[in-house]
Amino acid sequence: MSTSLYKKGMILTIIVLFIVAGVVPSISGRHVQKDLDSPKLHQCLNTGIIQGNIELAYDIEDIPSTIRPESDIARVGLYINYFASGLGAKYIVPFLQFRTFPIFLSIEGTPEWCVVSVSPGVVYPHLDYRTAETPEHAIVTISLTQNAPAFQTHSITVNAKANSFKGPFRVINIIASTENMIPIEIKTGYYSNFQYEHQTYAEMLPDEVKSIPINITSYSNARTRLTFEIIDPPEDWGASINPEIFIGTAALGDDPTGIATLTIQSPRGDEYLDEVEQFNVRVSTMAAGHPEHGIDNTTLLQFTVRCRG
């Protein structure tokens, strides 16, 4: 054994003996049980000679400005460091660097509409008495269901825990258990999803006015403004529709249904008998109060109308 290693061993032995001697004032026969029940002894056994520390960090650039339900998946890189502190850490740590220590990762405070996981669930870093140059790495995966209310900020907590490490005979904690957590803030995005139920075929007499209701159900996650436009209506036919309506969202407890009405007037004259025309209605949706979200979400509704005699 080298002189340097011998000195470190002596220092470690002295530290352990000093702590034990300080908390066990007597080992004489009739005081053994009393001393084993000593609060100071239990405090030493439970806290540890040195303190373990977990340091957590993540890549802020991995988090998008918003996460849209049912489509976006955020993968956030998590970095984990494990190091010791306290009197004697510099001398004790070298004896423990040959092994790894499990750190258990978990997710807390997740709302029911948020799906979060961390992988791997356990990492195995080496112990040091300073921050490691190459920390352990994990991935936090975040996605949202369609029930996530839009434009809200929420905090997801990643928890990391390391158990205590006991010395020989499993009597004294060499390293105290430790726990740390880090919040990851996300903002929910807008999700546009609507169901349209309407009559697709109708027959009309000349010079007749017919109203065709369009029943709309929203599965979006924000109150939405829907605008309607009739594209290239046939000549000599009349057509009109609601310019816009607003529909709520079940994600906020609102009524998610609404009705728009397409009104068609057939032309007058026998020359239009048996004429068949198609009407196209373009529906654009955008989050109410957030016109920048959803402008490109359009749907084309088609209606076929025959003028009969």
Across all residues in the chain, what is the average pLDDT?
A: 84
Q: Is the Cβ–Cβ distance between 91 and 11 less than 8 Å?
A: yes
Structure tokens at 274: 């048996």
Above 60 in pLDDT, residue 10? no
Whole-prediction pTM: 0.75
What is the C-alpha separation between 112 and 96, in angstroms, rounded? 42
pLDDT reported for residue 119 = 97
pLDDT bracket for residue 69 (50, 70, 90): very high
At 34 the pLDDT is: 44
CB atoms closer than 10 angstroms to residue 299: 13
- pLDDT score of 33 more than 60: no
Split at pLDDT 50, 70, 90, the class of 27 is very low
User: Residue written as tokens 């002894």?
Assistant: 41
Query: Residue 176 — pLDDT band, cuts 50, 70, 90?
Result: confident
- The fraction of the chain above a pLDDT of 70, given in percent, is 81
Extended beta strands in the chain, E state = 50-58, 73-85, 103-108, 114-119, 122-123, 136-144, 153-162, 165-166, 173-176, 178-187, 194-198, 201-204, 209-218, 224-231, 238-241, 244-247, 257-265, 275-287, 297-307
Exposed/middle/buried for residue 38 (C-beta within 10 Å: 0-12, 13-18, 19+): middle
Nearest to 171 by CA among 46, 84, 27, 11: 46
Beta pairing, strands 73-85 & 122-123: unpaired
* 239, two tokens: 């057509």
Q: What are the backbone angles phi and psi of residue 243, rounded to the nearest 5°?
A: -65, -35
User: Which of 107-111, 166-170, 280-284 is predicted least confidently?
Assistant: 166-170
